[in-house]
Structure 1
């Protein structure tokens, strides 16, 4: 696979930025991606959703005092807006000229998990997404302070139930285990005393806030230091620990390049991260610059976003239904704003179970044949071999190829864009599909190349980057 295509997929969601990487070089491309302007305006469909505690109480009171039909109507609107929020974010991912920021927002979204299903306030979920976008390339330590003090997080990890006379350890535990240090780098006493320091941190009008009669103002010992610690103090003490950089550098390497990064690389980049005072921008630049020259293609399974957005880009599809994209992602196990648990999506092999692979192949068949994705594509109630009783919407699909090329040149062109390797058997199969007498200038040549791409898209090698 051409390096520019490979790294366009890794630093975005498709091959759209490949030419820009070739033109600029990898380090300037990353710098340009980091400094690119972006919008962070609240979507209009959230205008009437509650944003403060006062507005939330007012909504709940109105629900309590209205008819059952009106209650259903209000609830239906909240559910609809949760779905609209997913579509809004997907549009941002597709529309950005330099989508690395959205790729990083998605990374942080899967690191500091708070799900829509549990939080149940759309604005708080949007607010987290907003903060992640603002701080995507900023300071990890500062971002950690911000994220554990959002309304979404204190609700999701039950810190609303954490009071000085009734301690809940969820947020304290995940702050150490999943957000910063990882298992084995703290004690149970650190968790208990951290929970005491977080006691009383509950829902606020716009952000989480301490409640005077629920917080614990006694001294606590945390990582060997004693004081009347609060949320910011905990993060400061955590970031003094020896192993603080390595959990996050391992996760970043997994997100962008390797499903199984070596511990040597994790340590190497972690030590640099510490030296850079936990600034994300220089870390990403260093990783991309130093890993780019290496032969790393095929080291990571594509997540569903990359799989589908690459296919949409290759097929030049302009009118795919965003609602169907959200459904595809959910069926593939990558439901935005609704990870299966606080650990987030596992990634790696979980992106390529036999069922997920079959779904991907079905989608490839549909799109390459000019049919839109249908919910029926994934209907588990259908018997094996049974065709869904649905008329599939036609869409325009075309594929870019050299109109002056012969069959081998076109096969090579598509392979270089999409496959990390091609063995003799695959080459033979592709030449059987696009035979030696293929005329690229014929009126129906596009259909022949689409059949070739459909074959490519269903190979195991296509699932890797």
Structure 2
């Protein structure tokens, strides 16, 4: 099996999922690259995660209410255990684009429902997704559309719909924001029951016709007695929307771009790629599956290896899936779900409607230490099934020189293509003790410990932090 095929498949699985074990990579290479892309694009062909496996042992995860930092436990369980990696990766993508936080919503349950909506609609029709988002109670509360009345317009939702969710700054006027907001008056949620004594109750979308401004509106050059559905239809027809969403997809799946607020003044790093994705977006009538198919099969995607700094979620989930052992919902999943937040990406609680700043802004001295300590602790646990699989591969090769040990581990952990200085430093460290042998119990134990130490060094490398 060609190394280049494994490397390309590993690249696909890092971006379209959360990485893969060597066994899975070899199976997918045998299946073929384009066939794997199709498999990822059709998650319905694979069994969904059974939430009840989690709830049997952690019933609090069903409606965590306001348990600080614990609300993402269910989603964490999905990401670690899913057989539909691209479906979950798209949920993460939309959570970044349509950022909604518990800091204001104060109700994890509603944001979890929004996550489920992304899971259901995230690979389908973008227009349908926007419609669902406009009716989503968490978003309505997050962006104050419950305060948007026919006789007192609140522009928060209307502004963010245009600025961050569809077109981007510079492609609409303040008058467009006002008219857009007028069209969404009356889009609210039914009154919620109080928190006590029976706990939280689900929120529900409610349209109040008597609170809707039914007057004539002029929006992006169109005039009519528009309601919210009309606005979304007009927005989706704009070339700016196709360009904006293409840039979001490129930034998330291909290579780190400038931060979103700079897009109006900073050109994309690959304008031809953006144009290609935007064209498919338009010609497919906003079908995300069609856009993703072109993206993953493109040369610009295949050539953009290690051009993205992993987000905290990608670091945590990718390493957990690599080492294994978290499939059973054992005690501690709540604390495990907090790890992503400790690295700067508290799931279900983005810092603002703008989402998280990505790329190099993921890294500071504190978050880098968190990344290294977390991943090193996992790969250093030689009893983890994924680490055992690496050890079994090494044992099958018999006696190993330090050079062969380093090269094999770099291959199994990526493959990672490190520079010569880094490789030589790893070899220098591994050379203490001579070749790796497994012929006695004592030698096997010592070799196992050395492998664990080498894996810890590898995950602390700059190279492991990139996807």
**Counterpart for residue 15 of structure 1:** 20
CA–CA distance in structure 1, aligned partners of residues 313 and 302 of structure 2: 25
Residue number among 25, 35, 46 corresponding to 2:42 in the alignment = 35
User: 1:48 and 1:456, CA in 2 relative to 1: closer, same or farther beyond 3 A?
Assistant: closer
TM-score by length of 1: 0.82
Number of matched pairs: 415
Contact 1:258/1:300 (<8 A) preserved: yes
User: 1:42 and 1:173, CA in 2 relative to 1: closer, same or farther beyond 3 A?
Assistant: farther
**Counterpart for residue 235 of structure 1:** 232
CA–CA distance in structure 2, aligned partners of residues 293 and 152 of structure 1: 34
Stretches of structure 2 that go unaligned for 5 or more consecutive residues are 1-5, 192-202, 258-268
Show the 5 A alignment for 1:112-191: 112-191=98-177
**Counterpart for residue 312 of structure 1:** 320
Residue number among 342, 361, 371 corresponding to 2:353 in the alignment = 342
User: 1:46 and 1:368, CA in 2 relative to 1: closer, same or farther beyond 3 A?
Assistant: closer
Find out whether 1:410 has 2:405 as its counterpart.
yes
Contact 1:190/1:221 (<8 A) preserved: yes
User: 1:30 and 1:317, CA in 2 relative to 1: closer, same or farther beyond 3 A?
Assistant: same
Return the offset for 1:115: 1.6
Return the offset for 1:363: 2.2
Residue number among 353, 377, 380 corresponding to 2:364 in the alignment = 353
Partner SS state of residue 209, structure 1: strand
Return the offset for 1:320: 8.4
User: 1:232 and 1:293, CA in 2 relative to 1: closer, same or farther beyond 3 A?
Assistant: closer
Show the 5 A alignment for 1:51-450: 78-80=65-67, 85-204=71-190, 207-260=204-257, 261-291=269-299, 294-318=302-326, 321-370=332-381, 398=388, 400=390, 401-403=393-395, 404=397, 406=400, 407-416=402-411, 417-418=413-414, 420-435=416-431, 437-441=434-438, 442-444=443-445, 445-450=447-452
Contact 2:150/2:185 (<8 A) preserved: yes
User: 1:47 and 1:14, CA in 2 relative to 1: closer, same or farther beyond 3 A?
Assistant: closer
User: 1:292 and 1:188, CA in 2 relative to 1: closer, same or farther beyond 3 A?
Assistant: closer
Return the offset for 1:420: 4.2
What is the root-mean-square deviation in Å for CA atoms of aligned residues? 2.6
Contact 2:376/2:457 (<8 A) preserved: no
CA–CA distance in structure 2, aligned partners of residues 305 and 48 of structure 1: 21
Return the offset for 1:437: 3.2
TM-score by length of 2: 0.82
Deviations 1:217-245 (A, max 9, x none): 11110111111111110011112212221
Partner SS state of residue 223, structure 2: strand
